[in-house]
Amino acid sequence: MEHQIIALLIGVLAFAALSRWLTSRWLTAPLLFVAFGLASGTAGLGWLDIDPEAELIEGLAEATLVLVLFADASRIDVRALRTDLGIPLRLLAIGMPLTIALGALLAAAIFPAWSMWEAAVIAAILAPTDAALGQPVVNSGAVPARIRRALNVESGLNDGIALPVVLVFIAMAALPAEPGQSWLVFWLVQVTAGPALGAAIGASGGLLLRLSHDAKLANESWSAIGALTLAGLCYFGAEAAGGNGFMAAFIGGMAFGATSASLGHKVHDFMETEGQMLMLAVFILLGCALAGPALASATPASVAYAALSLTVIRIVPVAIAMTGAGLDRRTVAFLGWFGPRGLASILFGMLLVGRDSLPHGEAIFHVVVLTVLGSVLAHGLTSAWGAETYGRSQLGADNTAH
């Protein structure tokens, strides 16, 4: 175990020492850490030998997703979002259901041995996006703020919205004879109790930390640690009440950001740094523990579905959702392409591991991992270039209009 920890730490240290040089080459951190995991795993040098079903992976992915959702949401300008809610609302209310529907139809066609509910399971698991895989896009000043904000809000909220849908579809696939009215009640509780508790905890916690900081009762270091505990409180509080912890973490982060402005950037930077470190550890584990079995079991059908999931299944619903929104074609294409699949899909896919009641659960999980690997590569290589190119096109359009 010590050797595995040493290998992990060496990888993180090497990236830290070369981070600016590496990222200036249009290589994202998730791409580099998945590559490191592949190289150091059993399929490579054999430094890291971790059981794909280890609870460590699921626990780490869950904790990372909670912290990343909370930290990202805390940076959203709520006032600006109120004036420009149209794009993220269209992406979530129209684009996401269409993505699940199209993904299920294509999965049923490509994998005829799967039941329709199993096809729906993989479509729902792969519907959420992960802005972290295209970090240069949401951080680029070249991309208009409302487009960056829309992608960030979509990424934050669709995880929580998708989870109850995933759970319902898994239950239907395992026990198709017992749908029942209770699933509607379950879903409604998940998507209402979580956000409500998250908003209350985030707002009250942010106000408390801000007042204590302004009164010189707390320093920035402990205020940052307090913010981390709020992320955990949002998640576990919502879960204990039967709500969705991931939605609670995101809404809680927005409420925290709106009530803690005077705490300064150091608190937000600290949360972002902690989230990035956990995220990179997950991607190392993805490369060393999950990628091998998924690649070994890959078939033309699974590769085709992974490619369709990252292109047609995402881009067509986004184009339909943006009809009448007044966006130019480049913007619609940009929104459609930058829908990476990452942490949420991995975490939701792990819900299938060890489920004997789901006939093709392992095959579905392998396709999910294959899709995430493809997303890490495709979006990792195109995010910086895409943001730069799209930003120039918008600047040129503005200049032409004037």
**Confidence band of 401 (pLDDT split at 50, 70, 90):** very low
User: 402 in a domain, yes or no?
Assistant: no
Q: What pLDDT does residue 4 have?
A: 64
Least-confidence region, from 89-93, 192-196, 295-299, 374-378: 192-196
User: 341 in a domain, yes or no?
Assistant: yes
What would the two tokens of residue 227 be?
């913010």
Most confidently modeled of 62-76, 255-269, 331-345? 331-345
User: 139 in a domain, yes or no?
Assistant: yes
CATH number at 206 reads 1.20.1530.20
- The Cβ of residue 43 has, within 10 Å, a number of other Cβ atoms equal to 16
Q: How far is CA 82 from CA 45, 86, 176, 203, in A?
A: 51, 9, 41, 17
Collapse the DSSP code of 348 into the 3-class scheme (helix H, G, I; strand E, B; otherwise coil) and give the result. helix
Res 397 pLDDT > 90 = no
Most confidently modeled of 33-42, 76-85, 105-114, 220-229? 105-114
Give the residue numbers spanning the domain of 338. 2-397
What would the two tokens of residue 324 be?
């009448």
Res 177 pLDDT > 50 = no
User: 183 in a domain, yes or no?
Assistant: yes
Alpha-carbon distance of 56 to 76, in angstroms, equals 31
Helix ranges (H only) for 75-178 are 78-83, 86-90, 96-110, 116-125, 135-139, 145-174
| Contact status, residue 56 vs residue 50, Cβ threshold 8 Å | yes
DSSP count for the chain of H helices, then E strands = 19, 0
Q: What is the pLDDT of residues 42-80, one digit of tens each?
A: 766 666 677 666 677 777 778 888 888 888 778 776 666
The closest of 346, 359, 348, 363 to 290, measured between CA atoms, is 346
Q: What is the pLDDT of residues 237-252, one digit of tens each?
A: 998 888 888 888 888 9
Q: What are phi and psi for residue 178, nearest 5 degrees?
A: -125, 60
DSSP 94: I
Q: What is the CA radius of gyration of the chain?
A: 21
Within a 13 Å sphere around the CA of 70, how many CA atoms are in the beta-carbon half?
38
**Confidence band of 330 (pLDDT split at 50, 70, 90):** very high
How many folded domains does the chain comprise?
1
Q: What pLDDT does residue 233 have?
A: 93
User: 95 in a domain, yes or no?
Assistant: yes
| Contact status, residue 50 vs residue 57, Cβ threshold 8 Å | yes
| Contact status, residue 104 vs residue 119, Cβ threshold 8 Å | yes
Alpha-carbon distance of 244 to 235, in angstroms, equals 8
Alpha-carbon distance of 195 to 191, in angstroms, equals 7
Alpha-carbon distance of 137 to 396, in angstroms, equals 18
The closest of 347, 288, 270, 367 to 60, measured between CA atoms, is 347
